[in-house]
């Protein structure tokens, strides 16, 4: 299991402290949420903050673009140090081309689905993706309630993965906690993003260790 704490829930006034906490922890990736105020109602942060995170981060950056026309920024995020670059299906007119460009730029290519988007829309692209991110909340904000329907989506996607002999990772993003995490893993998830559950905990290091022990 890959655990990716979401920096959106960090204390931006103590960003270095929180990045170093993740470095010291058993977490695997940094999950970085980029929001443009158009694709989603919220604006998070952009390149200057990402550069600051990158300077201190000692683990791969898993960058989740919640922006329109994500293809415009593929090279910029490669230059900013992204290891995984995930674009939304709903924001992509030419997803296959975006995957090619993301890989050419040296990154792993991911696609994210909003809660209302059925997994079967990915049927013709599953052989080209490294990661499918299923949103288990409506993208835009941390700290929201997990949408239960996600379990069925994971199972359906995992069945498509097995049937096709693919090896992309299934990532779950939104409302992940210690109670639903084991069920998500059992359904077929490989990567769990956790924002508020980690950063609002009184002991984030122990919280990360608890999730990794599942």
Stretch that binds Zn ion, among 41-49, 56-64, 99-107, 202-210 (CB under 5 A): 56-64
Strands of 82-88's sheet, edge to edge?
Answer: 2-5, 191-194, 169-173, 131-135, 108-113, 82-88, 61-66, 30-35
Pair of tokens at residue 31: 């999950």
Figure out which of the listed residues 3, 9, 21, 109 binds ligand DX5, where binding follows CB under 6 A: 9
Distance CA 181, CA 4 (A): 13
Q: What are the backbone dihedrals phi and psi of residue 64, each rounded to the nearest 5 degrees, phi first?
A: -110, 105
* DSSP summary character for residue 174: S
Q: Does 150 bind ligand DX5 (CB under 6 A)?
A: no
Pick the catalytic residue: 28, 36, 62, 173? 173
6, 98, 180, 207: residue in contact with ligand DX5 (rule CB under 6 A):
6
Annotated active-site residue 173? The verdict is yes
Crossing angle between the packed helical segments 15-24 and 204-212, to the nearest 10 degrees: 40
- Closer by beta carbon to ligand DX5, 7 or else 187: 7
Q: Name which position in 3, 87, 108, 175 contacts ligand DX5 (CB under 6 A).
A: 175
Q: Which of 92, 95, 119, 142 binds ligand DX5 (CB under 6 A)?
A: 142
Under rule CB under 6 A, residue 33 binds ligand DX5: yes
For residue 180, give the 3-state DSSP assignment.
Answer: coil
Total number of residues shown for the chain:
214
Q: Does 36 bind Zn ion (CB under 5 A)?
A: no
**Quick check: is 130 catalytic?**
no
Residues that bind ligand DX5 (CB under 6 A): 6, 8-9, 31, 33, 64, 137, 139-144, 173-176, 193-197
The residues carrying an active-site annotation are 33, 173
């Amino acid at each position: 299991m890959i655990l990716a704490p979401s920096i959106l829930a960090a204390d931006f006034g103590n960003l270095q402290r929180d990045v170093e906490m993740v470095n010291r922890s058993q977490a695997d990736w940094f999950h970085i949420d980029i929001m443009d105020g158009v694709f989603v109602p919220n604006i998070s942060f952009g390149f200057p903050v990402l550069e600051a995170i990158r300077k201190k981060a000692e683990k791969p950056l898993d960058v989740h673009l919640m922006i329109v026309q994500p293809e415009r920024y593929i090279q910029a995020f490669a230059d900013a140090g992204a290891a995984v670059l995930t674009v939304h299906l709903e924001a992509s007119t030419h997803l296959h081309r975006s995957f090619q460009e993301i890989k050419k730029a040296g990154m792993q290519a991911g696609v994210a689905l909003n809660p209302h988007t059925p997994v079967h829309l990915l049927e013709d692209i599953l052989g080209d993706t490294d990661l499918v991110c299923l949103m288990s909340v409506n993208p835009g904000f941390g700290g929201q309630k997990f949408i239960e329907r996600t379990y069925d989506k994971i199972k359906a996607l995992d069945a498509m993965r097995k049937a096709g002999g693919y090896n992309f990772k299934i990532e779950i993003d939104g409302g992940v906690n210690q109670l639903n995490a084991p069920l998500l893993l059992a359904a077929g998830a490989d990567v769990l993003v956790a924002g508020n559950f980690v950063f609002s905990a009184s002991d984030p290091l122990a919280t990360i260790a608890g999730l990794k022990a599942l």
